Amino acid sequence: MKKQQPQISEDRILEASWELLGEDGIEKFSLRRLADRLGIQAPSLYWYFKSKQKLYQRLANQVSKVILDEFQSEGDWKEQLGVLAVTMREVLRRYPCSTQLMMMTLPHEPDIIRFTNRMLLCVESTPLEPEQKMQVATTLVNFVYYFVMDDYQHERNVTAILQENGTFIPGEEMNRVLDTMSDTDAGLFKRMFTNKLFELMGTDSAFDFGVKVILLGIEQVIEEQKQKQNQKG
C-alpha cells in the first residue's frame, strides 16, 4: 500500500523553522524539535527535506528571494551596491539566524544564484577584472553578514546575562577591567569607552559609514584600473 504524505506543507515547515530559530537560535535547532512544533513524527519531514542541511538551503534560498524582491535601484554601480547593502541588512534582520544560514549553505539554490548574479551585475559595467568583481561582491556581503550577526549576538549576550543575573548594568564589568589596566595597554580604548563611542556599534550610522568606506575603496580601485588601461592604450 502506498504511503500517504503527512498533512503539512513545505511553506508551513519553513514558517515553523523561522519560529524555532527566533526562539532558541540555530544552536538548538533540530528536525526533531521542528517535528514536535508541527505535531508530526520526525521521519515525516523527510518527505520534504532529506536532511537538516537541505532545509537550511531552502531557508537561505527564501531569504535570497526576499532580498531580490525588495532590492530596487537603477542608479550607477555605487548607488546599486549601497542600496543592495541596506536591503540585505533589513531582510537579514527580519529573519532570525538568516546570516548564519547564508554562511552555512552553498549557492546551489536558484534564488541564491540569482542573488549572487544580481550583485555581480552591479559592477559588471566597471573596468574591474573578473576576479576583482567577485572580490567586490564578497567584501560587501561579508561586511553586511558580520554587521548583522554581531548585532544579533550582542542582543543574545545581553539576554543571557539578564536571565542569569536578573540585572544588567552596561559598562560596569568593563569599567572594573579597565581600572586594572595601564594607560599604555588600554588608554585610548578607555577614552573611547568613556565617551560612549562603542555605543555606535550596530547603529544605522555605523552601518552607513562602513558601506561608504567600502564603496570609496572600490572607487579607488576602479580609478587605478582605468589608469592602467590608459597606460596600456
Entry pTM: 0.84
* pLDDT beyond 50 at 107: yes
Grid coordinates of 211: 558601506
pLDDT digits (tens, 9 = 90+) for 161-218: 666 666 555 567 778 888 888 989 888 888 888 877 677 778 999 999 999 999 999 9
pLDDT digits (tens, 9 = 90+) for 15-39: 999 999 999 899 999 999 999 999 9
Q: Which range, of 10-24, 104-118, 155-169, averages the lowest pLDDT?
A: 155-169
Residue spans of alpha helices (H) in the chain: 10-24, 31-38, 52-70, 77-94, 98-104, 110-122, 130-165, 172-179, 183-194, 204-232
Q: Which range, of 72-81, 94-103, 168-177, averages the lowest pLDDT?
A: 168-177
pLDDT digits (tens, 9 = 90+) for 39-50: 998 888 988 999
Distances (CA, A) of 31 to 42, 96, 163: 6, 17, 26
Separation between Cα atoms, residue 208 and residue 218, nearest integer Å: 15
pLDDT digits (tens, 9 = 90+) for 62-76: 999 999 999 998 899
Query: If 0-12 CB within 10 Å is exposed, 13-18 middle and 19+ buried, where does residue 1 land?
Result: exposed
- Long-range contacts made by residues 63-69, C-beta under 8 angstroms, separation at least 24? 63/91, 63/92, 63/95, 63/98, 63/101, 63/102, 64/102, 64/109, 64/111, 64/112, 64/114, 64/115, 65/111, 65/114, 65/115, 66/91, 66/94, 66/95, 67/91, 67/115, 68/111, 68/114, 68/115, 68/118
